[in-house]
Structure 1
Amino acid sequence: MSAERHYLDSVRREASRSLRSNGGILSPSWARYLDAIRHGLLMIDDAGRAIVSNAPAARLLADFLPKSASEPSARGLLRALCAGTAKPRRAVFRSLREARDLRTAVSFEVEAKGLTLQVELNPAEEQGWIATLEDVSARKASEARADEAARQDPLTGLPNRLLLQERLLEAFVRLHRNGEKCALLLVDLDRFKPVNDTLGHPVGDALLKKVADRLRSTVRPTDTVARIGGDEFVILQTGVREASDTQALARRLVDLIGRTYMVDGHLLTIGASVGVALAPSDGDSAETLLKNADLALYRAKLDGRGTYRFFEPEMDARMQARRRLELDMRQALARREFQLHYQPQMQLDGDRLIGCEALIRWHHPERGTISPLDFIPLAEEIGLIVPIGDWVIRQACRDAMTWPAHMSVAVNVSPAQFKSDRLVETIMSALAGSGLPARRLEVEITEGVLLQENEKTLRTLHRLRELGVRVSMDDFGTGYSSLSYLRSFPFDKIKIDRSFVKDLSGRPDGDAIIRAIAGLGRSLGMTTVAEGVETPEQMQRIREEGCTDVQGYLISRPIPADDLISFLASYKAEA
């Protein structure tokens, strides 16, 4: 028995004694005492008479009892209270009878005129009932506000993931009951992160609010727009008759979100990638529909972003294969399945080999050799490129120690490695552990490295330069601002992208581009390496245009580390 219930029952017993000793009349002192109790209190005998009723009970019951009732009888009270419950009256009385027979308490809530009462009926130890009444209106309102807040995104005011799940379940109930179809559209904002990074989170938050407003404006009142992540939104489209209805909505979303925004004096342009799944064809449950819409969104991103894609069954098969590849790659380092091959670089002045570029290979025990084009993008996406890149640096330094002392080794470093804040420490550790002089290590970066956190990246590059490590810009000429980057950091080497070398035989401007890059390198004191040289004709024209070094199949294909020493020896003998 609870302390409060025990207290109320003791009050009832003492009040009953007072009633018996005073001929059925409650003494004034007891009446004042009961009126001071916070809860409404009724004492009901087995005959159904309210033998005690305090002032709070009378005040609380004013909205429930008929105005003609002079005093509350038990049956009249219960009939009035039952009118305010969500349960049928018979069900309430049945539960009361069962509680009476079992001598257990029964509790229920009633409502009238905006007032909510918590009614608890406890059988007294001797006979009759003790009824306590509590006004829980404020608590219920607070709970309702908390419940609403728990289902609402605080920034945009849109439904959140919890409310979306509830609406999805309701949509599937209608689908299974009367065949009403629905669609789910996952919206991921493109180019939103640079807004946050460059202009700050307040501007990013203001932009998200404007996106939410645009999304609200493009859907019907029966549809649901929800925010489920930082820059991820979901639209649940109900009452779908044809797939073309959803296609039209997806097209409007891409167009509308892609229009320019004015936020705090800034003109901002972002985009949207949209993945679409239809029910029941793409899923007969909320979980399946969400998963398949996410697969379609992933495809939209792969296809260049700023577009929409509908789910197709083969997407799931591709994603399963991707997951298997991811699981295998996570174990590949521990199993020592990665290997380094080296492609030699030749200095045109003297036709001598002066270094090699380290190229990673994955020899899977079941799938055989997996191309870097298949696993490197995935490694960058899931964050494995950092530990893999660390291994490449350490292994390349160890291998280079077995080469002639004049030869250097070049390793490619991804933007993710620059973000990890440990690149310099990794290189220092690799040099110290292998004994390789810093001047024999060369770090190759692409323009993608410099696009992210420019100042931080330049500090890292200068720290590498201070160590004595050389730095090359790879794939020069394929980006947007390569010339400005050459001014911001004094690279040691420019590697001309293989596409320009390939164009030597097919485009009349190929010579002019290579001549210009070679001249730029000379004027800035940088070595220029032409990649992808495969024929003697290309080699001759590269010489004529003034490049200093070459790399490509004409010199050698990438060679396993174990075979490189013998290749170097044979190449020297042939020379």
Structure 2
Amino acid sequence: MSVLGVTAPSQLPPVWDELITGLTVGMLLTDERGQVLATNDVAADLMQLAKSDLLTGNRPSGWTVRDDTGAPMPDWADLAGQVLRAGSPLSTPMVIERTGQPRTRIWADYHAVEVQGRRRVLILLQSVHTDVSHSRGLRDPLTGLPGRVLLLDRLEQSLVRARTRGTLSTLVLVDVHRLADFNGEHGFDRGDELLTTLAARLREGLSDEYTVARFGGDEFAVVAEHPNGAGEQIAEHARELASWPMRIGRRRVQPALRVSWVTTDGQASVHSVLSRAEQQLAR
């Protein structure tokens, strides 16, 4: 997760400093590019950084932030843009590691707000001392599909069932290739329309027993359980559903897709299954 550096102090009223200093939770206020405009000591402590590091984007050697599986977190700019476009809150866990320091687990809640007439993202950080509850109903605000957190939970449950029942679990990743170029040419609203159309096709076209989730900004994921065989048929079905031409605005668009799949008997970890699927996707 990177944060763009700021070239000048944020111009916020002094009341902001008074307000956020007294909070018992960590607070970050960012713009649409992920630049941190204001923060407090609690946020700095949770992130294991100095306040100046948060404001300038400096990250010391040995400092990393990942999700619960060990995978790198999406960029703050991507998350901020998603929250502002959707206008809905987003929640995600983070794991902070720094050389010589104990690992910290944090729950981050992203909210679209307006400050001095400008759209901003307010991020509230809280320490997680026990396993994050899976009953929060976390959904991707744009597509309505399960988000990254629920996907990881469903994948873990699928692997457990595969081990105990002697079945198989398949993870399919569907990547919308060059989505950034599409957004640049047609605008983010059209890009969001493309993603919501793909989400509806996958959810309606695949078995109700499968989990269809939004894994990242341009990736969808499918978790499927089956008694035998490989996951190739499931992956090809997902590719077929997602690759149909669609009408976006006045244009006829055929999405460019990359698809990968991994089938396991449940003996692999969530992190290893995800890593292998992403490696195959990159190739």
TM-score with structure 1 setting the length: 0.25
TM-score with structure 2 setting the length: 0.50
Query: Which one has more relative contact order, counting CA pairs under 8 Å at least 6 apart?
Result: 2
